[in-house]
Chain A
Amino acid sequence: MQTVINYISQPWPWYIAGPLIGLVVVLLQWIDNNPLAVSSSYRHICAAVFPASVPFLKYNWKAESWNLLFVAGIIIGGFLAGTVFSNPLNINISHETAVQLQSIGIQDTSGFAPAQLFSFQALQTIQGIIILVFGGFLVGFGSRYAGGCVSGHSMTGISDLQWTSMLATASIFAGGIFAAYILLPLTLKL
């Protein structure tokens, strides 16, 4: 048993993880014609907790409760992967990326994300506020405006051969490249 746990505790290569994600998409389709959709859960939570009188939040979110159970599962899965099957090593990123990140001020590349930006203390810095508050806002606002995120468009939509999802994915990458090359270095210089 311990050897099994040790085995799956290693980081998974892309050719294991990718096909497994593909299987999740097929499974959700087969069970009840559902898409792999995560950002919709944010809308359901808004509709459940604070719909106010916003028409877009007035709908029967309980009919989408499968989606809320699905994301609750993701939290539990994250917990299991982070404890029971946790991989003690740091992430083995490419040398060029590590050098570039160092040159813009990210010295400590341990864990899943740099603690200087992703911690409660980071909220006392302008960089932390920009990333955690403004960045998070864009994740929620942008994914809903685009009608989906990486799961809904890039995974589900493209595999349904929807050209609109390819367009959305190209737009997402345009924004991401702009953030990685321009906005992030600027933010870290503040």
Chain B
Amino acid sequence: MRNFIYLLIGIFFGIILIKSEVSSWYRIQEMFRFQSFHMYGVMLSAIAVALIGKLALKKSKIKSATGKEIVTGKKKYHHGLVIGGVLFGIGWGLTGVCPGPLYALIGKGMYALIILFISALAGTWIYSFFREKLPH
């Protein structure tokens, strides 16, 4: 039941993804063509607020709501960052959706994107299956 809070945060996040139009294929085309500041404004201001907020959490040494020390994730280098990143970028450029907006758009009523969702699940599964054979 404690996890219910995540449902609420997800609802809030889903509303932002639609209302800010970052889920729109047109906005993504505009972004990759560098023809509008909108997407960059969203991402850069999100990063700035997240950066300052997490620094403040760490500096103030307050504990998490669950009573733990605040620790942020470390991401080690592996080749997948580049290879997977480029492949994901191609998918994003073609479909205009990244994983979050995909959920939001299905909720919004674009049911044809369920096909895209199933394809994304298939991609995840195939990656998992061939993981040991891929360069990391």
Structural contact, A122 and B112, CB atoms closer than 8 A: yes
Structural contact, B33 and A18, CB atoms closer than 8 A: no
Interface size class, chain B: 35 or more
Q: Which residues of A contact B (CB under 8 A)?
A: 8, 11-33, 35-36, 38-39, 41-43, 45-46, 50, 52, 54-57, 65-67, 69-83, 85, 87, 91, 93-94, 96-97, 100-101, 109, 112-114, 117-120, 122-123, 130-151, 153-162, 164-165, 167-181, 183-184, 187
Within 8 A of A (CB), among B1-33: 3-33
Give the most central of A77, A118, A133, A157: most B CB within 10 Å: A77
Question: Which of chain A's residues have a CB closer than 8 A to the CB of B41?
Answer: 13-15, 18
Residue of A nearest to B32 (CB): A180
Structural contact, B73 and A162, CB atoms closer than 8 A: yes
Structural contact, A100 and B33, CB atoms closer than 8 A: yes
Structural contact, A136 and B91, CB atoms closer than 8 A: yes
Structural contact, A145 and B80, CB atoms closer than 8 A: yes
A-B contact pairs, 7 of them (CB 8 A): A18-B44, A70-B6, A76-B7, A85-B15, A87-B19, A145-B84, A184-B94
Q: A141-B87, A184-B94 are in contact. Are A24 and B7 (CB under 8 A)?
A: no
Q: A30-B57, A69-B10, A100-B33 are in contact. Are A118 and B110 (CB under 8 A)?
A: yes
Q: In angstroms, how far is the closest chain A Cβ from the Cβ of B61?
A: 13
> What separation, in Å, do the CA atoms of A54 and B72 have in the docked complex?
29
Within 8 A of A (CB), among B101-136: 102-113, 115-129, 131-132, 134
Question: Which of chain B's residues have a CB closer than 8 A to the CB of A187?
Answer: 94
The 8 closest A-B pairs by CB, nearest first: A73-B10, A77-B14, A175-B89, A22-B49, A179-B93, A145-B84, A171-B85, A140-B123
